Amino acid sequence: MVNLKRLYTIIGQLIRKTREERGLTQAELAAAVSLTRASITNIESGKQKLLLHTLYDIAIALSVEPSALLPKLADTRGPWESESTLSSNLSESEREWLHSIVSASKRDD
């Protein structure tokens, strides 16, 4: 399962990095994609979700493929999603139990 907070944080970081590499200010990027500077600030900090067409508009404004602004799938998952992070000594039922505990804890955040 994708960790949405992590997903949007990483997308924001990739947008910020690319924007800075292109020498654009937040205000310039905002004007190019018809958003406010505050929206760009919130997107870059992972606080604001963005629509797919907005991601494409940002990619066009930054002269990159949209995929350049997306994290690798493995970077968006919780640590319990990877078999390598769990002890190989755990049974399937123990892994499921652990996953349920971590998921419940995450919902409480």
pLDDT: is 93 or 28 the higher one? 28
Same domain, 82 and 69: no
- Give, in degrees to the nearest 5, the angle at Cα 46 between 84 and 70: 60
- Count up the domains in the chain and report the number: 2
Q: Please, what is the average pLDDT of the chain?
A: 85
**Confidence class for position 2, pLDDT limits 50, 70, 90:** confident
Report the distance separating Cα 109 and Cα 104, nearest Å: 9
Q: For residue range 36-88, list pLDDT tens digits in order.
A: 999 999 999 999 999 999 999 999 999 999 999 998 877 776 554 554 455 55
Please tell me whether residue 41 adopts helix, strand or coil conformation: helix
What letter would DSSP give residue 85?
G
Same domain, 55 and 84: no
Q: What is the per-residue pLDDT for 94?
A: 76
Same domain, 59 and 45: yes
State which residues form the domain around 56. 4-73
Same domain, 68 and 82: no
* pTM: predicted TM-score of the whole model, two decimal places: 0.70
Report the distance separating Cα 92 and Cα 51, nearest Å: 37
Residue 60 sits in a domain whose CATH number is 1.10.260.40
Residue 90 pLDDT more than 60? yes
Q: What is the per-residue pLDDT for 95?
A: 73
